[in-house]
Amino acid sequence: MQIILILFELVFSASIAIYAVSMLYSQLKGAPYVPSNQKEIEELLKLAGLKPKQLMIELGSGDGRVLRTAVKNYKVQGIGIDVNPVLNSWATFLAKRQKLLNIKFISKNIFDYDLSKADAIYLFLMPELIDKLENKFNHEIRPKTIVISHGFEIKFWKKYLIKKRDHKPFPTYYYLIT
Ligand SMILES: C[S@@+](CC[C@H](N)C(=O)[O-])C[C@H]1O[C@@H](n2cnc3c(N)ncnc32)[C@H](O)[C@@H]1O
């Protein structure tokens, strides 16, 4: 009985340690893990004009809740990119549990994933990280792509801003690339 308790404690402590390290890693790579609010997600996706079979890429997908909602409600194909493998495993598990087929989560740094095939892109990232993406966005994101930035504006793309959803604590900015 005592051995079982010790084993349980060890597994529990190891899980907490892995989780804590992975959260620290997310932060070090540019943005801490702060999930979007589920009710907010449903409202902000209504304004995105998503269509079935479009490819939606989420940059820093966390537990995949935004992408899972988009795939479920709008029948898009979803690719989530997150640097944190713990969050990706959890997102994959949740998507499987929801029986969502057209969705996958990839453990990568945003800077290492090609965005040229996206029809829609969602991000909820820190302003400093967004600023660093200027070159990549300008080179890879195609005309007609809708880019939804939750929380913070994309300062270098003011010319593409088509609407803003004012909401507290986080507004949402919509860009249509031309
Ligand atoms: C604020 S959370 C947003 C999570 C999710 N998009 C949502 O809205 O619920 C930011 C996410 O970006 C991820 N992240 C931070 N820097 C990254 C990078 N350089 N490449 C890929 N993912 C990154 C973190 O692991 C975290 O899950």
Could you read off the pLDDT of 44-93 as tens digits, one per residue? 999 999 999 999 999 999 999 999 999 999 999 999 999 999 999 999 99
Instruction: Report whether residue 78 contacts ligand 1, using a CB cutoff of 6 Å.
Output: no
Query: CATH number for the domain including 115?
Result: 3.40.50.150
5 alpha carbon – ligand 1 mean position (Å): 35
Is the distance from the beta carbon of residue 136 to the nearest atom of ligand 1 less than 6 Å? Answer: no
Position in ligand 1 atom list of the atom nearest CA 122: 6
Rounded Cα gap, residues 10 and 156, in angstroms: 48
Cβ 29 under 6 angstroms from ligand 1: yes
Contact between residue 122 and residue 59 where contact means Cβ atoms under 8 Å apart? yes
Looking at the 3D structure of the chain, how many domains does it have?
1
Rounded to 10 degrees, what is the CA torsion of 125, 62, 146, 169? -50
Residue written as token pair 């597994």? 11
Residue 99 has pLDDT above 80, yes or no: yes
Does ligand 1 lie within 6 Å of residue 68's CB atom?
no
The Cβ-side half-sphere exposure at 68, using a 13 Å CA radius, reads: 21
Helix-helix angle 85-97:2-28, to 10 degrees: 110
pTM of structure: 0.91
Q: What is the domain range of residue 87?
A: 2-176
Between residues 17 and 65, the one the model is more confident about = 65
